[in-house]
Amino acid sequence: MKFLFDLFPVLLFFAVYKIAGIYPVESHAFIQQYVSAFVADGKIPADQGPIMVATLVAMVASVIQVAYVKARGRKIDMMLWLSVIVIVVFGGATVYLHDDSFIKWKPTILHWIYAAVLLGAQVFFRKNLVREVMAAAVTLPDQVWNRLNMGWIVYFFIVGLVNMVVAFVIFKGDTDAWVNFKTFGLIGMTFAFLIGQSLYLSKHIKEEGA
């Protein structure tokens, strides 16, 4: 359930982008009428309508996520704060400069920040953040926790690198293809990693229980 909650802005971004793409004239007119006063030079290219609308919706959805967690009286974890900050900064730059390059950078920057946080906590503070999150649910040897932490660091780095290559090399200039990859490709990579992690953990959990 939490996984779907975390994906809420991503899925909403995809849905709105596709719907706005069906009505490009209307989406551009909406952006031009209500947002042009907040963008550089006040003019938004016609082909930027769908990505601008989708970006604005994703920004609002991310803020709503934080407000919802806060309203429920729950602690807002660091990853959610980082996600909101990055989408607001890069989404804001996308809208203000009407340049979709910034929103394409967002997944890369966000995942690399995740990797840096995990690595920095381990190196400078001797804290395994993955262990702190999962320790209540599973007991593992120290070396397994360290491998798991490093696995997440490598995974986040690779995801950021893959997004950059796809956005600016493979699908350069093709925003529609990148949006499809961002939604299905990145989610697919996450599922694959989580399955691999589960298989790895199951082996060590059995060994611990034996």
Are 45 and 56 contained in the same domain? yes
pLDDT of the residue at 209: 47
CA 131 to chain centre: 22
User: What's the mean pLDDT in 185-200?
Assistant: 94
Are 139 and 170 contained in the same domain? yes
Are 29 and 80 contained in the same domain? yes
pLDDT of the residue at 20: 96
- pLDDT digits 0-9 by tens, 148-179: 999 999 999 999 999 999 999 999 999 999 99
Last residue of one domain, picked from the residues 58, 75, 99: 99
Q: What domain range includes position 175? A: 101-210
Q: Which residue has the tokens 């006063």?
A: 37
Are 14 and 77 contained in the same domain? yes
pLDDT of the residue at 210: 47
Look up the pTM and report it.
0.90
Are 107 and 25 contained in the same domain? no
- pLDDT digits 0-9 by tens, 86-128: 999 999 999 999 899 999 999 999 999 999 999 999 999 999 9
- pLDDT confidence of 139, banded at 50, 70, 90? confident
Are 94 and 50 contained in the same domain? yes
State the Cα–Cα distance between residues 107 and 165, nearest whole angstrom. 12
Joined tokens for residue 136:
């209540």
Are 158 and 171 contained in the same domain? yes
3-class secondary structure, 134: helix
Q: Which residue has the tokens 């997004």?
A: 163
Are 68 and 152 contained in the same domain? no
Structural domains in the chain (count): 2
Are 207 and 142 contained in the same domain? yes
CB 46 within 8 A of CB 29: no
Last residue of one domain, picked from the residues 99, 122, 155: 99
Among 56, 65, 139, 140, which residue's Cα sits nearest to residue 103?
56
CB 52 within 8 A of CB 94: yes
- pLDDT digits 0-9 by tens, 9-43: 999 999 999 999 999 999 999 999 999 888 888 88
